[in-house]
Structure 1
Amino acid sequence: MISATLALLLALSPVAATEIPKNFLLIERDARKKLGPMQVDEEGYTISDKLTAPLELNPCHRRRATDLGRVAARTITHWTSAPSGSSEQLVLYKSPRAAHTALTSLRADVKRCARRSSPSQPRLRIQWRTSQAKAGDEAVGMGYQTRQGGSVNQTITGIVARRGSALMIYTTDEGFYDPGRLTKNARKMAVKVCQLPGVC
């Protein structure tokens, strides 16, 4: 009788999440709304569930994902005519270890490719940096500046956090380098991903 009960409990126990529910990301409801005729020239969103999409923070400018163990992913990018842009990305892995390895590899990429030229504009220099951050089980702030002729062209600020087997990334190109302003979003998603089976 005990073994039959145990077998039933195992059958009913949640398995690891292999998909991300619709409207799960923080900006997803806005991203899925149909824009009016006046808005389409002012802003826009793209939503992708491609497993092979590179991480939104991508120091070595990889064209495809190189992290292993992904089971689901969603990337939302937002642009405005200001011009400005931001993004939100959630990647689910088969285990917390796989997610941790992905974050560790991302940190290593920042060191490996901290200073380099833009692939499309050789005269444009890109300089990456990292900083401490607190969200989820582990997190790091990171981003870069592009420089040309000694002047700063653009600053990208980001934060990447891990909670269980999930990795979440937030980026913006507005303002100065300050990952702390993205911590609230990362912490909110770090709580939310625990609603998904097997993540936490």
Structure 2
Amino acid sequence: MSNEVIRRIFIFCFIGVVMVFLTLITHETGHVLMAKRYDGEILRVKLLGVEVYPEVKFSGFENNFGSVRYTGGSSYKEHGWIYLMGSGTNWLIAIGGLLVLFLFKIFRVKNFYLNTIFIFMSLMFLDFITYMFGWRLSGEKEPFTAAEYLGWNESIFFVCVMLSGALHLLAVIYLLVTSGYWRNFTAKQDYIN
């Protein structure tokens, strides 16, 4: 294995770790933005055991990686949107990442680093899927709570999310296979014809 391949593996892993952290930040930001949208007041934002708002201080983990405490949301529907848009924000970002990957394929952008960033970005929708099964460390199934508050049928909601998630993942896999990303991963240079 060449030094370039080892370097790319390290960079790939580093970008992956950074993107997981960014997913946490954007998830909580989604809750904050929707709470503010409904004239809510943000009381506290915690990330990885650190309270980052209203003041920065270590306050320990509370069975989750992040949380937002807010007031406001005068109806179940408003609370439903606030719950939904944590993971929903990440899915919207993932759709943006997927669109960029499609553009990279069309315009034959073979830059390893940019492709790696947008591959991980396009996978941010997995935040929504893991919450559907309660696999996040909070143990709460936020999307189901949102569906209940919004008056949506949970079974239909589950099927729709799983189908759209499967289609999204298939699109990512298609782009990885057809763009030559893995060949580029082991190449000595960024551009391969």
Give TM-score, length-normalised by structure 2.
0.31
Q: Which has more strand, going by share of residues?
A: 1
Structure of higher RCO (CA pairs closer than 8 Å, 6+ residues apart): 2
Q: Which has more helix, going by share of residues?
A: 2
